[in-house]
Amino acid sequence: MGYSIFQETMVDMTYQEIEQAAARKLPVLFPTAVIEEHGPHLPLGVDTYLSYNQSRLVKKGLQALGIDSVIAPPYYWGINVASDGFAGSFSVKPETMTAVLCDSLECLNKWGFDKILILNFHGDFKHNSAILEAARKAYEELDIGAYFLASETFLQRAGLTEQKPYVLVHTGSYSGHKNKELPPEYLDIHAGSLETSLMFKDFPDLVNTELAKSLPSSMTTMQGLKIWSQGGDKAKEITPQGYLGHPAEFSLEEAALYNEQLIATVPQIIKDFLDRN
C-alpha cells in the first residue's frame, strides 16, 4: 500500500482491539504536528510524517523496555507563525487547537485510557503553548491523565519554572550533524539538513533529492531567526525559499543518529513516569 501515517496506529485497529488495549491500561502515544511549507524540496506534511514516525520509534523503544503502547491518530491542525506567509501553511486559532485536542483526549479517556502522552514535532511557540494548555485543561479540569512531553527550551520560554503534573520534561536535544564548512552560528531548524535527512530515510519518495543537493545554506543566525519568527514578509526576507538551514547536507547517517538519540531518551523518560504512576 505504500506509506501511510495511519499504519501501526489506532486507525488500523478494530474497536474490539481498542477495547482490549484500554482494558490493559496501555499508555497512548499521541503525535501532534502541523501542515506547513518546507521549502521547494520537501512536502507540506514533513512535521506530521516525522511526528508520526517519532511515535513509532518511541513505541519500539518502549517495547524494548517491556512496555506495550498504542498510537493515536496523528493530529496536524496546528499553529504556524514563521511560515504563515507561504502558501500551504495551514494554521488554526490557539483556542481551536486546544479545544480539538481536549475533545480527542476526552474520547480516549472515555474508552478507558488513563495515560495519554502527547508527543510533538513542531517548534512554533504558540503551537506548543496550545498543547500545554490542552494538557493543563485535560488534567486539571477534565480529570484526564494527559501529559505533554515538552522540551526544556520551550518550558523556559513559557516561563514555567515549577514542575507541573501534566508535563514530562525532555531535557535532551539533538547534538549531531554540524556543517564543518560553515560557521557554527548558522542554524538548521526548518527544512534543512535534519528534516531532509529524516524524510529521506523513511519517506524517500517525498524528497526531491536532486533539488535538495543544489540548495545553498540559508546562512541564518540567531539575529535572523528573531526576524524569521515574526512570520509573513519578515520571514520571507530571511528565507525566501522557505527553508532555514542546510538542505544539501542531508544524509542517512544524520537520520540514524537522531533516531538513536530519540530511542535512547524518550522511552526511558516515559518508563520512569509510568513506574512512578
Q: Per residue in 11-41, pLDDT tens?
A: 999 999 999 999 999 999 999 999 999 999 9
69-87 mean pLDDT? 97
* Inter-CA distances, 158 with 126, 130, 161, 170, 223, Å: 10, 11, 9, 15, 20
Grid cell in block for residue 131: 498543547
Asked if pLDDT for residue 228 goes beyond 70, the answer is: yes
- Render pLDDT for 244-272 as a digit per residue (tens, 0 to 9): 999 999 999 999 999 999 999 999 999 99
149 class by beta-carbon count within 10 Å (0-12 exposed, 13-18 middle, 19+ buried): buried
Hey, what domains does the chain have and what are their CATH numbers?
10-176+257-276 (3.40.50.10310)
Between the CA of residue 154 and those of 89, 100, 122, 141, what are the distances in Å? Answer: 22, 22, 11, 23
**Mean per-residue pLDDT over the chain, rounded:** 94
Q: So what's the pLDDT on residue 176?
A: 53
CB 22 within 8 A of CB 114: no
Predicted confidence at residue 245, as pLDDT, reads: 95
Secondary structure E strands in the chain: 28-32, 70-71, 116-120, 146-151, 167-170
DSSP assignment string, 41-107: TB-TTHHHHHHHHHHHHHHHHHHHTT---EEPPPB-----STTTTSTT-----HHHHHHHHHHHHHH
What the block records as the C-alpha cell of 64 is: 524494548
- Measured CA to CA, the distance from residue 33 to residue 48 in angstroms comes to 5
Pairing of strands 167-170, 116-120: unpaired
Summarize pLDDT for 131-154 with one digit per residue, the tens.
999 999 999 999 999 999 999 999
Tens-digit pLDDT profile for residues 156-204: 999 988 899 999 998 766 655 555 567 788 999 999 999 999 999 999 9
Write down the pTM of the prediction. Answer: 0.95
Give the pLDDT of residue 170.
Answer: 87
Q: Is 191 left (phi over 0), alpha (psi -120 to 50) or beta?
A: left
pLDDT at 2: 61
Work out the pLDDT band at 1, boundaries 50, 70, 90: very low
All three cell numbers of 277, joined, read 504512576
